[in-house]
């Protein structure tokens, strides 16, 4: 794998998109909305193929062919099978997210002895990170990494909790943690568009 950070980012995006597509399919099934089911299955098939989730992709190809043929009898069976694949894939991605979160980072740059940390310089990076978190954007992981490096060892417990929340896609917890961190640093966070 030539670009591991890119692939990890794609997997994080895939996990989010998988959950969204699964919810869309389930809701459409309750409404007996076959066009929406077909659209969601097609979308999920594409993203599964992009990340190399071959078993899920194969299941989706079969389901999509069945949906195009209009065989309602097989559709229910295939949808039930699909839910099993989705659950397994989500479990694997959750475990991968935990393994990635536990992977040791490069040593953080700690300010030199006696050097005062100017947290005001951190405010734009925190604001950018807040915006990404509120958008459920996996780029928040990289943005928060720069915040951690800037802080060095300061606020270690708080930054570890925020990082873990981002790595496990708990964006609500990441947001509350980031707002708490800003409060500890006596910084007011505003998104670039002026909304706080």
Q: Is the pLDDT of residue 195 over 70?
A: no
The model's pLDDT over 178-189, given as tens digits with 9 standing for 90+, comes to 999 888 888 887
**How far, in Å, CA of 189 to CA of 196, rounded?**
6
Q: Is the pLDDT of residue 176 over 90?
A: yes
Q: Is the pLDDT of residue 73 over 50?
A: yes
**What is the residue-averaged pLDDT of the chain?**
77
pLDDT band per the 50, 70, 90 thresholds, residue 193: very low
Q: Is the pLDDT of residue 25 over 80?
A: yes
């Amino acid at each position: 794998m030539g670009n591991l950070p890119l692939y990890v980012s794609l997997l994080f995006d895939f996990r989010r998109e998988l959950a969204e597509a699964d919810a869309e399919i389930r809701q459409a099934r309750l409404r007996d909305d076959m066009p929406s089911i077909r659209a969601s299955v097609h979308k999920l098939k594409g993203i599964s193929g992009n990340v190399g989730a071959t078993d899920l992709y194969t299941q989706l190809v079969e389901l999509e062919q069945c949906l195009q043929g209009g065989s309602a009898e097989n559709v229910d069976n295939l949808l039930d099978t699909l839910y099993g694949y989705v659950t397994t894939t989500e479990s694997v991605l959750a475990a991968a997210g935990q393994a990635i979160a536990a992977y040791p980072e490069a040593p953080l740059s700690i300010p030199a002895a006696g050097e005062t940390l100017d947290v005001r310089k951190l405010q734009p990076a925190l604001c950018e990170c807040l915006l990404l978190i509120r958008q459920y954007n996996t780029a928040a992981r990289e943005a928060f990494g720069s915040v951690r490096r800037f802080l060095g060892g300061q606020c270690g417990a708080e930054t570890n909790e925020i990082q873990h929340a981002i790595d496990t896609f708990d964006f609500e917890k990441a947001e509350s943690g980031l707002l708490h961190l800003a409060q500890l640093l006596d910084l007011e966070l505003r998104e670039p568009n002026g909304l706080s």
